[in-house]
Structure 1
Amino acid sequence: MDIKAGLWQQQTMKLALTQELTQAIALLQYSAHELSAFLESKEMENPLLQIEDNNIRAIDPQVDRWKPKGKKIDKDEKNWIEQIGEKVVALDEYLLSQLNMKEVTPGQKKVISYLIQCIDENGYLIADLEEVSAHFQISSAEVQLCVNLLQDLEPDGIGAGSLRECLLIQLRKKEQKDLLAEKIVDEYFLLFADKKWKDLAKKLEVDIKEIQRVFDCLQSLNPRPGAIFHHEKPAYIIPDVIIDREGNNLAVKVFDDAVPKVRFNETYYKQLVTYKNPEVSRFLQEKQQDYHWLIKSLEQRKETLLKVGLKIAEKQQDFFHKGPQFLKPMTMKELSDELGIHESTVSRAVRGKFAQTPYGMLELKSFFTSTIQTVSNESASSSQVKSMISRYIAEENKQNPLSDQEIAQILEDREGIIVSRRTVAKYRDRLGIPSSSKRKRYE
């Protein structure tokens, strides 16, 4: 092989990601919240960039309450009781208030107070009892006594170490004892949970209907006794696109009212431009160019979002006029081909963004579903098939539930939709519906 050093000319084609293009791509995939945060950070970097958020204000419930058109509501007519905030009681506070009413020694109270801090949001005790014993320098029996005192508090099942123990505590606290349920949960919980009820009925020498009764009893218990005290702050979603009905037509707009407006700081620019300094001039030129790039990127983002929103409205008219069950199959590739843009651009445009529709706030990506083959020339979406599967299972005979193969056959016979048994099983799992053997009832 002859290897020589030299100079050659060669023509190549490649896409160079400029700063402007990189910024445009980043802005396109930002949600309204992320875009606002990005603009605030840019304001800190660029003194020529001025953020105006006069269009954003907090809602005053005394001023902005909804009222019917043509009717004035006086202050006296307002129900101020509805505006009083709910008092939230934490789980540890609730348990400690009960502990103060119990006859326990100061040492026990100290240990139980520590154990209360080791309860997770579902109400389960996650402490290592051996470490608690060593920490307080007490015996394992004394620690277990404190655990028992903790589990005696309300809500029933609190302080359990497992789901089995949680259910068992609740069963033992019931006024009407269910000895069979206690025995099953205590000794045969895994066999019962796997729904191997015929084997369990033989071992316990009871009718399988009794096992079904125990199952119904356990369904009434709370597997997460601490969850009622876990309050998460509500997540407020700002729509990026609004798609609304106007008679027989659909109106689409990009909702940018929640995004701060970007302005050029003319005053600051005029002050600095008077300095006859090359470095200042270079700085101003870079920041002025950065401002123009940002404005152009924001305009491109809005234009792309509007194009995608319009195309979604155009292709999903039945959904917006008739309901969610009429969602048609549509892919990002199909949309990108019609808009003349790359598929990745569509993907970035819908990432983490929501549309306000007549049927509530929906993710833009939820409008994209795969195509399911049918016996006719028409096509069905995967969401439609999931809805049908859910409906058939809800209407089935619970004593003889439909298998995945039977559901696949029904879809072909009744709806003309061809899906495999494995596809039905996959969609059923995504819907959180158990298999036919676990849906079966014996009464």
Structure 2
Amino acid sequence: MRIGLVQEQSLKLNMTQELQQAIALLQYSSADLLSYVHELAMENPLIEVKETYRSPYRQVSKNSDKQSFIENTCKEKASLREHLRSQLIDFHLEKKDRDCLSLLIDAIDSNGYLKDCLKDLASVIDVSEEFLESKLYFLQSLEPAGVGARSLQECILLQLRRLPARNYLAETIVEQHFQAFAEKSWKELSKRLKIKIIEIQAIHELIKKLEPRPGLKYESDDMSYVTPDMTIEKVDHKLHIIYHDELMPQLIIHHPLQSDEAVKEENDTRDYYSKKLTQGKWLQRAIQQRKETMVNVMRVIVEKQEDFFIKGRSFLKPLTLKSIADLLDVHESTVSRAVKDKYVQTPHGLISMKTFFSTKIDEDKGDVSSAAVKIKLAEIISSENKQKPLSDQKLANLLKNDYDIRISRRTVTKYREQLNIPTSAVRKEY
């Protein structure tokens, strides 16, 4: 074995900090990018952010800033825990009672349920489980109805007991026969309770109007809304891509090195401002590059999914990230980042850019995508006879005979479950 020095020539990609940040910017949603720009402007004195007229994240009144402030203040929503605590103000409670209720409120999850074991919670503040349970019953009497439930069954029962017109049969069924009712073993239930199936059906319709997650409406996420990054419009039989530049604020990069004599004299100060100037220019270029990449990806999507934009959702074709990347001569990960958390307004509604990508379901029929099949499957089920719902096998046969879509019963089951559509037995109405 000989030991010696060998010289080799190779290519190696070094990920500079600027390149890493540019990649991060591409995958940011408009909201995240806006937040990032404001954070950077706080650190960089050379970056000035001028808000554009249209901002999806901060609505500005045309009349006055004061009016806008009042409107936005009125729209603020209390969280579920804040809402529950505010209701305790009206009660004169002992410290022990208030401590127990505070503990229970903190343990409530975003859906309004209490998932923690009462025994474990009771040990935290050294009270008996029975005493803490009595405080839970008090908490369950507050608004919204169903809050503090430990299961879906208890949540529904709490809401039924709060109805202005009590339905005692519904309460009995939920309290004592919930599993049979949920599994739609209604024939057995009708025999057991000696009632007609149509009465059980009426109770089912009543329960469908209740809220299975009573705390969800107090979540701050419900206040947010999605604003499209681009809009696809059909003009003179042609599809046009409109990129919403107004979503981003206008960036102004100042150049102190050209005008400030004091900056020119101090080396440290000059170096500092030089770095900040470079950072500001990079940010402008990165935002522009993000826009160009998104528009280029969308342009290819429009070309490949033209039937979708013209005819509707059921005409989605199979499309992969790799096929787009190959056409644009970029890496597949670049396309993935460009469509992440991005939305497009189309003639058929607001669509996530990820929606346009799906695999084909039949090797012999490359123009049929799994997304299109799911849409068609949902349409068939929504229009079926509810008294005689279609089984998965019948759905597979119908797709084959009426729409020339050949998929197995097992695939129908998989797609149905992905759409959160229950089995035919559960869908059946009487």
**What TM-score range do you get, normalising by the shorter chain?**
0.7 to 0.9
Please give the secondary structure, in 2, of the residue aligned with 1:371: coil
**Offset, 1:23:** 3.4
Give the 3 Å change call, closer, same or farther, for CA 285–410 of structure 1 in structure 2. Answer: same
Quick one: distance in 1 between partners of 2:60 and 2:44? 33
Give the 3 Å change call, closer, same or farther, for CA 374–106 of structure 1 in structure 2. Answer: same
2:61 matched to 1:61? yes
Q: What's the CA shift string for 1:283-325, capped at 9, x where partnerless? A: 5665555455444433322222221122222333333333333
**Offset, 1:32:** 2.4
Quick one: distance in 2 between partners of 1:232 and 1:44? 26
Q: Residue 264 of structure 2 corresponds to which residue in structure 1?
A: 274
Q: Residue 5 of structure 1 corresponds to which residue in structure 2?
A: 3
**Offset, 1:7:** 0.1
1:55 maps to a residue whose letter is T
Give the 3 Å change call, closer, same or farther, for CA 156–348 of structure 1 in structure 2. Answer: closer
Give the 3 Å change call, closer, same or farther, for CA 232–290 of structure 1 in structure 2. Answer: closer
Quick one: distance in 2 between partners of 1:281 and 1:137? 63
**Offset, 1:415:** 0.8
Quick one: distance in 2 between partners of 1:292 and 1:242? 28
Quick one: distance in 2 between partners of 1:281 and 1:106? 65
2:293 matched to 1:310? no
Please give the secondary structure, in 2, of the residue aligned with 1:274: helix
Alignment of 1:220-259 (within 5 A): 220-227=209-216, 232=221, 234-259=223-248
Give the 3 Å change call, closer, same or farther, for CA 95–388 of structure 1 in structure 2. Answer: same
Q: What's the CA shift string for 1:73-119, capped at 9, x where partnerless? A: xxxxxxxxx9994696864267447x65xxx9868975786587455
2:384 matched to 1:381? no
Alpha carbons 2:146, 2:159 under 8 Å: kept: yes
**Offset, 1:44:** 5.2
Q: Residue 414 of structure 2 corresponds to which residue in structure 1?
A: 426
Give the 3 Å change call, closer, same or farther, for CA 180–267 of structure 1 in structure 2. Answer: closer
**Offset, 1:411:** 1.0
State percent identity of aligned pairs.
38
2:325 matched to 1:328? no
Q: What's the CA shift string for 1:1-24, capped at 9, x where partnerless? A: x3x432012233333323443333
Q: Residue 92 of structure 1 corresponds to which residue in structure 2?
A: 84
Please give the secondary structure, in 2, of the residue aligned with 1:434: coil
Quick one: distance in 1 between partners of 2:252 and 2:338? 24
Quick one: distance in 1 between partners of 2:134 and 2:117? 15
Alpha carbons 1:374, 1:417 under 8 Å: kept: no
2:420 maps to a residue whose letter is G
5+ residue gaps, structure 2, are 65-70
Alpha carbons 2:101, 2:139 under 8 Å: kept: no
Alignment of 1:344-363 (within 5 A): 344-363=333-352
Please give the secondary structure, in 1, of the residue aligned with 2:233: strand
Alignment of 1:25-424 (within 5 A): 25-43=23-41, 46=44, 49-55=46-52, 59-63=59-63, 85=74, 91-92=83-84, 95-96=87-88, 110=98, 114=102, 117=105, 120-125=109-114, 129=118, 145-148=134-137, 150-151=139-140, 156-172=145-161, 180-197=169-186, 200=189, 211-227=200-216, 232=221, 234-271=223-260, 274-275=264-265, 277=267, 286-287=275-276, 289-373=278-362, 379-424=367-412
Alpha carbons 2:314, 2:373 under 8 Å: kept: no
Quick one: distance in 1 between partners of 2:425 and 2:302? 42
Alpha carbons 2:241, 2:295 under 8 Å: kept: yes
Superposition TM-score, scaled by structure 1 size: 0.76
Q: Which region of structure 1 is more displaced relative to structure 2, 194-203 or 399-408?
A: 194-203
Alpha carbons 1:130, 1:140 under 8 Å: kept: yes
Give the 3 Å change call, closer, same or farther, for CA 432–128 of structure 1 in structure 2. Answer: closer
Aligned residues: 417
2:232 maps to a residue whose letter is I
Give the 3 Å change call, closer, same or farther, for CA 408–111 of structure 1 in structure 2. Answer: same
5+ residue gaps, structure 1, are 65-81
RMSD: 4.1
**Offset, 1:417:** 1.2
Quick one: distance in 2 between partners of 1:267 and 1:124? 57
2:15 matched to 1:17? yes
Superposition TM-score, scaled by structure 2 size: 0.78
Q: Which has the larger radius of gyration?
A: 1
**Offset, 1:389:** 0.7
Q: Which region of structure 1 is more displaced relative to structure 2, 151-160 or 18-27?
A: 151-160
Alpha carbons 2:155, 2:212 under 8 Å: kept: yes
Q: Which region of structure 1 is more displaced relative to structure 2, 22-31 or 265-274?
A: 265-274
Quick one: distance in 2 between partners of 1:288 and 1:228? 45
Give the 3 Å change call, closer, same or farther, for CA 266–330 of structure 1 in structure 2. Answer: same
Please give the secondary structure, in 2, of the residue aligned with 1:39: helix
Alpha carbons 1:112, 1:150 under 8 Å: kept: no
Q: Residue 76 of structure 1 corresponds to which residue in structure 2?
A: none
Please give the secondary structure, in 1, of the residue aligned with 2:351: strand
